Amino acid sequence: MRAPDVTRALWRKSTRSNGAGGNCVEVANLDATVGVRDSKAPNAGHLAFTPQEWSAFLTEVKSGRFAEGTN
């Protein structure tokens, strides 16, 4: 699989990010994948997920599956 070109990607940070240096990720639509990277180290690379994988992950997050103290 060819790595997506991220030079013109529009990375966006969660609206829940408070800008106080917390743990944040940025997300961008990259060709046929969704890219996720650390907002504090944007040049360190990114993870790539299919849109279906990303959608499934967001569904689980919204359900509370990964909430602190639930595992």
Range of the domain at 26: 22-63
* pLDDT 10s digits, 3-53: 667 778 999 987 777 666 667 889 999 888 999 999 889 899 999 999 999
Long-range contacts at 28-35 (CB < 8 A, ≥ 24 apart): 30/4, 30/5, 30/6, 31/4, 31/5, 32/4, 33/4, 35/4, 35/6, 35/9, 35/11
In a domain? residue 30: yes
In a domain? residue 68: no
For the record, the structure tokens of 3 come out as 């790595």
In a domain? residue 16: no
Query: What global pTM score does this model have?
Result: 0.76
Domain count for the chain, please give it.
1
Residue 70 has pLDDT above 70, yes or no: no
In a domain? residue 4: no
In a domain? residue 40: yes
Residues in the chain: 71
Residue 63 has pLDDT above 80, yes or no: yes
In a domain? residue 46: yes
In a domain? residue 55: yes
CA distances (Å), origin 20, targets 9, 15, 42, 54: 24, 13, 17, 26
In a domain? residue 14: no
